[in-house]
Amino acid sequence: MRVGIWGAGPAGASTALTLRQLEPAWEIVVAHRAATRSWQPGETLAPGAQALLRGLGLWERFLAGGHAQAAGTRAAWGSAEPYDNEYLFSAQGPGWHLNRPAFDAMLVEALRAAGIEIAAEAAGAFDFVADCTGRSAVYGVSRGARRIADDRLIAAGTVVAGSQPMACTYVEAQESGWWYSTPLPGNRYVRAWMTDPDLYRGGRESAETVLSACSQHLSPCVGEDWLAVGDAAAAFDPLSSQGIPRALRMGRIAAYTIRDAVSGVPGALTKYRRYIEAEYAHYRSAHRHFYRQENRWPDAPFWARRQQYEGDSNVQTAV
Ligand SMILES: Cc1cc2nc3c(=O)[nH]c(=O)nc-3n(C[C@H](O)[C@H](O)[C@H](O)COP(=O)(O)OP(=O)(O)OC[C@H]3O[C@@H](n4cnc5c(N)ncnc54)[C@H](O)[C@@H]3O)c2cc1C
């Protein structure tokens, strides 16, 4: 059996490593293109990732990666008075401030160590393909699936070096969006402005990297001989801080699904699709609830748009 995995981020690495654990004799080819952006988002690893990294045999490598333990999040949301969500009391262990490029490089190294082939292109015929290409969902789109966005949130961010160390991740709601600042290992931090494209005042001369951060899902997220994993299947607002653990978890489930689908277990792909759809619906409901806690600027377009979601299919757009 020959399985192609497009993308070697958290979703691709988790799918490939789990499949290797399940079916050591299968040929697994991972098509890998390293991200080239100056700012690679995903700097905080929430508590709970530890169990996933252990299950993938990555925990010792992770600990050697120079990532820093995270204290938690401080948010001024719904009020100017900030409140703390401390990781210190999490039963799932600490959170981490990631060196994201080093984290992604560690994933590729672990794939190599597991004897998985890494290629620049996924060439040749495959019995099954996993699309793990992130928000672009390159493979799924090439197979006719559509990316559907529920909003237009963007992140305009920069990595700032040599300033005062920050104690924790900081989120602060403003009239036209919200600020997100988080420390990185090595006395640097990321500062990002989260807003809608028509409200963004940054110019071309700005040093900021602008990325999509919208809530989106792929429809459908499976085909007869492929499935999408991680952000390629559904991508969440960064406010959730769950992107990486979710991609690692979904990769584990995807690998079992691939094994079952290729072995002819009936309904394997339908079960996977329903899981993704149910998770996205649950996320959307939590997302609405959270944005509705901010009522200080009811007439400001950024917040007014986020009060109108429920039952409004007009806000959905193909990306
Ligand atoms: C502004 C912002 C802040 C965020 N902050 C956090 C955070 O603090 N914590 C957190 O957990 N999550 C965060 N996230 C979410 C997190 O980054 C993603 O959910 C997570 O990276 C998804 O993993 P993935 O493997 O699905 O996709 P990705 O990490 O996007 O990996 C996809 C990989 O596929 C590669 N690729 C693309 N096209 C191809 C191709 N054609 N062939 C081969 N390879 C290809 C890419 O180069 C990349 O290496 C944030 C997201 C945003 C937008």
Q: Does residue 311 register a pLDDT over 60?
A: no
pLDDT band for position 185 (cuts 50, 70, 90): confident
In this predicted structure, what is the pLDDT of residue 162? 67
Q: Is-above-0.85 flag for pTM? A: yes
With a 6 A CB cut-off, is 7 part of the ligand 1 pocket? yes
In a mutational test of the pocket of ligand 1, which residue from 33, 159, 252 has the highest number of ligand atoms less than 8 Å from its CB? 33
Ligand 1 centre from 266 Cα, in Å? 31
With a 6 A CB cut-off, is 230 part of the ligand 1 pocket? yes
Ligand 1 centre from 37 Cα, in Å? 12
With a 6 A CB cut-off, is 5 part of the ligand 1 pocket? no
pLDDT band for position 72 (cuts 50, 70, 90): confident
Q: Does residue 316 register a pLDDT over 70?
A: no
Name the least confident of 42-51, 136-145, 149-158, 266-275: 42-51
One-letter amino acid at 103 equals F
Q: What is the 3-state secondary structure (H, E, C) of the chain?
A: CEEEEECCCHHHHHHHHHHHHHCCCCEEEEECCCCCCCCCCCCEECCCHHHHHHHCCCHHHHHCCCCEEECEEEEECCCCCCEEEEHHHCCCCCEEECCHHHHHHHHHHHHHHCCCEEECCCCCCCCEEEECCHHHCHHHHHCCCEEEECCCCEEEEEEEECCCCCCCEEEEEECCEEEEEEEECCCEEEEEEEECHHHCCCCCCCCCEEEECCCEEEECCEECCEEECHHHCEECCHHHCCHHHHHHHHHHHHHHHHHHHHCCCCCHHHHHHHHHHHHHHHHHHHHHHHHCCCCCCCCCHHHHHHHCCCCCHHHCEEC
With a 6 A CB cut-off, is 43 part of the ligand 1 pocket? yes
pLDDT in tens, 125-164: 999 999 999 999 999 999 999 999 999 999 999 888 866 6
Domains of the chain: 2-318 (3.50.50.60)
The ligand 1 atom at the shortest distance from the C-alpha of residue 231 is 26
The ligand 1 atom at the shortest distance from the C-alpha of residue 139 is 41
pLDDT band for position 203 (cuts 50, 70, 90): low
Q: How far apart are the first and last CA of the chain?
A: 34
In this predicted structure, what is the pLDDT of residue 292? 93
With a 6 A CB cut-off, is 184 part of the ligand 1 pocket? no
In this predicted structure, what is the pLDDT of residue 283? 96
Residues in contact with 19: Cβ distance below 8 Å, sequence separation at least 6, in sequence order: 3, 5, 26, 28, 255, 258, 259
Ligand 1 centre from 54 Cα, in Å? 21
Mean of pLDDT values over 82-93? 76
How crowded is the C-beta side of 72, counted as CA atoms within 13 Å? 12
With a 6 A CB cut-off, is 133 part of the ligand 1 pocket? yes
Find how far residue 263's CA is from the centre of its chain.
29
